[in-house]
Chains A and B, each alone.
Chain A
Amino acid sequence: MRAAVIQFPGSNCDRDMAVALDKVSGNNKQTQMIWHKESGLPHGLDIIAIPGGFSFGDYLRCGAIAARSPIMNAVVDFAKKGGYVLGVCNGFQVLTESGLLPGTLMRNSDLKFICKNIKLRVETTSSHFTSAYTNGEIINVPIAHHDGNYNADQHTLDILNNDDRIAFRYINNPNGSMNDIAGILSENRRVLGMMPHPERLNDPLLGGIDGNRLFESMATTLVSA
């Protein structure tokens, strides 16, 4: 699997993401780091990850300015051609702001920044991001965000529910997200956005490995030619 991580000013989970991707990518396939001012992507990528952090200081709206940076035109093109894109935390916000995923992430309902381990239910294993989990499995993953309150109109929520596009739900909704949504898939199921941080829980030294299977899911199915 050939992976790349996009870096914006204020990204702070970019290296964690690269470590998690490297772990499953195979030999000599080191994750490439791509600065937001680049306008093109390297050839032959299997997946692009948009990491967590506070891109552009969360100015205007979380992810809004990053979503309009030069590299995102290339990322949107990549996704539209069927490329795989993973956005975690701020990366999820960038994906909704760029229109690759529907809805938006608003301020947490209690207005607090929440940083803790939470429980998620795997709602679908029918994606290249979640195939290594079992349906309905409950996993532990950390969250660390101020704006993770997923909002969308009823029509969008109906589509997400009916098309099995909700990847993860919170067991105890921490932030007010509609329908307890923690992560969603695009229509072609190749773009995943999620607020919790699987890359922060992929080694026993970090306190758990429940995040690892997300990366293993990708690696087993996204094998480079």
Chain B
Amino acid sequence: MKVRVHITLKPGVLDPQGAAVRRSLDSLGFGGIEKVRQGKVIELDLKETDVLKATAQVEKMCEKLLANTVIENYSVEIL
């Protein structure tokens, strides 16, 4: 089963990389961008075939390693 994890910065956490991307887009003429937030996508290929079990397993991975829950939120998407 393929699973995709989206990791995003929590609202309110400063994102200097997102801000730099916004400025660069701005300089390329893409006006009107109010904010850019940058995150990560991690794709996993699991042996597990049960959706609930796979979701629970990946959520545990997020808590233990994939996300830093001090500053990041995560969401798990079954593909």
Q: Which residues of A contact B (CB under 8 A)?
A: 60-61, 64-65, 68, 96-97, 102-104, 106-111, 149, 151-153, 176
- Decide yes or no: A103 and B16 within 8 Å by CB, A64-B65, A68-B65 being known contacts: no
- Decide yes or no: A108 and B16 within 8 Å by CB, A64-B65, A68-B65 being known contacts: yes
Q: Chain B interface secondary structure, helix, strand, loop or mixed?
A: helix
Taking CB atoms, residues of chain A closer than 8 Å to B13 are 106, 151
Report A106 CB to chain B, min CB distance, Å: 7
Contact of B14 among A65, A96, A106, A153 (CB under 8 A): A106
Q: How many B residues have CB within 8 A of the partner chain?
A: 11
- The number of residue pairs between A and B whose CB atoms lie closer than 8 Å in the complex comes to 38
| A149 in contact with B16 (CB, 8 Å) | yes
Residue B47 at the chain A interface, CB threshold 8 Å: no
Residue B75 at the chain A interface, CB threshold 8 Å: no
Report A121 CB to chain B, min CB distance, Å: 23
| B16 in contact with A109 (CB, 8 Å) | yes
0/1 string, B10-41, CB within 8 A of A gives 1: 00011011001000000000000000000000
- Decide yes or no: A104 and B70 within 8 Å by CB, A68-B64, A68-B65 being known contacts: yes
Taking CB atoms, residues of chain B closer than 8 Å to A152 are 70
Give the distance in Å from the alpha carbon of A103 to the alpha carbon of B13 in the complex.
Answer: 12
- Decide yes or no: A60 and B65 within 8 Å by CB, A151-B13, A176-B16 being known contacts: yes
